[in-house]
Structure 1
Amino acid sequence: MSLSDEIAERLLTAIINGDFPAGSMLPPEGELAERYAASRLTVREAVKVLRAQNVVRIHRGRGTYVNPPDRWTALEPVIRAAAGASRSGGVVSERLIEARRMIEIGAVELAAVRRSKEDLEQLRSLLDDMRDAAAAQDTDLFVSADIAFHDCVMRAAGNAFIPLLFEPFGRLLEEGRRETSAVPAIRENAIAHHALILEALITGDARQARQAMDAHMAQTVDDLRVHVLSAPNVADPESSHGSV
């Protein structure tokens, strides 16, 4: 990584952390150069990197201004901003579920007619892992098995592009699952819905599979609102791993 790229990363981090909020003007080049112990030329190149991603915009004669994240055009900065926002509210979590719903309902419909015997065996094993983790109150194991179950469904759809759609969101998915899966009632609901999804995939009924995944996504949103967003403390006191 070049020095200008490194400065761009540090500047992006400062923007995401709120040092330079959306709509604000970045300090002059000289001040940024002093802040990051770099030359003005290096700072100028770093700002160009962020400008190419539409993180900032330049008004000649006025200065460089920070754009809101919904105008950024590069995926990595958007994901980093979303990860930061998810720690302070549930809006990002709900938006992520919306995106999952759009993709996973279609994926499970394809998986119902394309899944292999090996896919079904893996899904059964992962569902057993979820049950074992819930019984052991092991949130980490539960989250791993849950994510792996959905990943298996997407791969069973037989379309190489589908699993790749969510690959950049791995960190957000894990954080969101950890937040909700720390609640025993949510674990129970998840197991029940995953069992219905597996049943539909076993029978090869695409319509049933679609309905089962849709119901699971709806339940996930409801659980998030009832057990997490409205609760003053979502930590599971019985979990050996706690929650994030």
Structure 2
Amino acid sequence: MAAELGAHRGDHTQDVVGAAARSLPGVKRRRGGRRGDAEFQRRFDVSRTVAREVAKSLETAKVVTVRRRIGLVSQPVEEWDALSTQVIHWKLHSTHREEQLRTLTELRLAIEPAAATSAARYAPIDVKSRLPLLAAELRHTGENGRLDEFHKLDIEFHSLILRNSGNEMFASLSTIIATVLSGRVELHMYPQKPKPEALDAHDAVAQAIWQSSPDNARQAMHRIVDEVAETLQLS
């Protein structure tokens, strides 16, 4: 493990943090595994400074707690900071992947249709006019197999709606939704070619928001997230 992670020094501290989080007993739903800076330093072949940064990051994410004279004590995964994009990323790359995808898809089902509804009411006109153009770019890149561009546009599309919904709570979740979307790509859990019905639904969402039609925006966004749940076999 030390040899594998020896390259993760300096600017790659967060890679070590992720590897450390996934290696803790908490990932397996156990409590009480003890760790210290010295162990992180030895196991991951990093400097003492980096080891301390790793420990601090894990404590901030509630992956571990610090106990006097004991050191770092790992916590059960259900006590981790569930809304941390770091924690979401770690879970997506652990044995909790399927459960994390299920809960995140449920979050999307609850949040994104409501955000689309609000965006149809409150989004600025320049944002509303941008969405049909984005949907057209999504279709073009998706149908032509330019998946890297497609995925970036998809993140922009959903983030734009959340950030311009007129609801600061929805807006604050835009980075989480972006993490979910990019995580599916990293895990090779995204279709090699977007389904026509998914592209149609993005078109419908964009048109509904552009036309200030809240009900149509909500229904079309439901179609997008329902299709995701079906693709992931979570529904």
User: TM-score if structure 2 supplies the norm length?
Assistant: 0.72
* Whole-angstrom CA distance in 2 between matches of 1:155 and 1:97: 19
Using a 3 Å threshold, how does the CA distance of structure 1 residues 140 and 180 change in structure 2: closer, same or farther? same
Residue 20 of structure 2 is matched in structure 1 by 15
Displacement of 1:140 after TM fit? 1.0
Deviates most, 155-164 or 96-105? 155-164
Query: Which of the numbers 67, 88, 113 marks the counterpart of 2:75?
Result: 67
* Inter-CA distance 64–206: structure 2 relative to 1 (3 Å threshold): same
How far the C-alpha of 1:90 sits from its partner, in A, is 3.1
Q: Give 1:109 deviation, angstroms.
A: 1.0
1:137 to partner: Cα distance = 1.0
Q: Which residue of 2 aligns with 1:238?
A: none
Structure 2 unmatched ranges of 5 or more: 1-10
> 1: CA distance between counterparts of 2:19 and 2:182?
24
Question: 1:207 offset after TM fit, Å?
Answer: 1.9
- CA separation of 1:139/1:65 partners in 2, compared to 1, >3 Å: closer, same or farther? same
User: Is residue 166 of structure 1 aligned with residue 174 of structure 2?
Assistant: yes
Equivalent residue runs for 1:35-74 within 5 Å: 35=43, 47=55, 50-51=58-59, 53-57=61-65, 64-73=72-81
Match of 1:99 in 2: 107
Indicate whether 1:198 and 2:203 are aligned: no
Equivalence for 1:182: 191
Of structures 1 and 2, the larger Rg is shown by 1
| CA drift at 1:225 | 1.9
Number of residue pairs aligned between Structure 1 and Structure 2: 218
- Match for residue 98 of structure 2? 90
- C-alpha distance in 1 between matches for 2:207 and 2:52: 57
- Of the structure 1 ranges 42-51 and 60-69, higher mean CA displacement relative to structure 2 is found in 42-51
Stretches of 4+ moved more than 6 A in 1?
A: 41-46, 59-63
1:220 and 2:228 correspond: yes
| Percent of aligned pairs with the same amino acid | 22
- Tell me the CA shift for residue 193 of structure 1: 0.8
Instruction: Quickly say closer, same or farther: Cα 1:54–1:207, change in 2 above 3 A.
Output: same
Give 1:205 deviation, angstroms.
2.3
Q: Is the 8 A contact 2:113 2:218 kept in 1?
A: yes
Unmatched segments (≥5 aa) in structure 1: 1-5, 227-244
Give the superposition deviation at 1:192: 1.2
- For residues 100-142 of structure 1, the C-alpha deviation after alignment (integer angstroms, 9 at most, x for no partner) is 2222111111111223432232111111111111221111111
1:119-134 superposed matches below 5 A: 119-134=127-142
The one-character-per-residue Cα deviations of 1:39-91 (angstroms, maximum 9, x if unpaired) are 7x9978975764464322467787753212221248254234224238x7433
TM-score w.r.t. the length of structure 1 is 0.69
